[in-house]
Amino acid sequence: MGCSQDGLVRVNQYALVSYIPDPLGKFLDDLRIELAPGCRPHAHVTVLPPRPLQGPAERAESELREASSHFHAFEVTLGGVEIFEASEVIYLSVARGERELRRMHAQLNRATVEFSEPYLFHPHITLAQNLPHEIVQDTLKLARESWAGWKGMVTFPVEELSFVQNTAESVWLDLVHLRLSHEPAGMVR
């Protein structure tokens, strides 16, 4: 473990995400705070769920930079509010873009960032987790009502990936941002 410049204690837990831009991102952040007060959200779709590294972060960054250069930007469209029954995590489903996210996950889960995850990869946007069991159903109902009331866009671009590191204080720090290609598929080398 090491300290970051702002005094946070870094831990060996990393992820790869794509942040959701405003106004949708702000709505989802506000909803997540309403559903799970005390959390510190930054709305995102996860490509590589949290994991320890099998080597130095610098090597992982380099490998991810190289591997992600082969992917093209795409759009994700959100679906409805669902729940993972086993973990009682409340989430938004991915209606479009799931195939691309699964492909990215499969191709990037290698080398220094390779990890055998406890759950099958399922693209989603987390809205609430680690809730007391007795409030899960009420929280699910509130999440569905709030999402139904959202009248803005439900589609966002995935143009950049962010390699992030967790801290002992549960604050995720951005390490590097990786831009995806906007070139036609035949143009990328």
Six-digit token pair at 62?
A: 């380099």
Question: What is the CB neighbour count within 10 angstroms for residue 74?
Answer: 17
At residue 188, the pLDDT reads 39
Six-digit token pair at 141?
A: 């109902």
At residue 187, the pLDDT reads 38
The correct CATH number of 2-181 out of 3.40.50.1220, 3.90.480.20, 3.30.1490.190, 3.90.1140.10 is: 3.90.1140.10
pTM for this predicted structure = 0.91
Q: Note the maximum CA span of the chain.
A: 53
Six-digit token pair at 98?
A: 């799931």
CA atoms within 13 A on the CB side of 148: 7
Q: Spell out the per-residue pLDDT of the chain, length 189, in tens.
A: 454 556 789 999 999 999 999 999 999 999 999 999 988 899 999 999 999 999 999 999 999 999 999 999 999 999 999 999 999 999 999 999 999 999 999 999 999 999 999 989 999 999 999 999 999 999 999 999 999 999 999 999 999 999 999 999 889 999 999 999 876 444 333
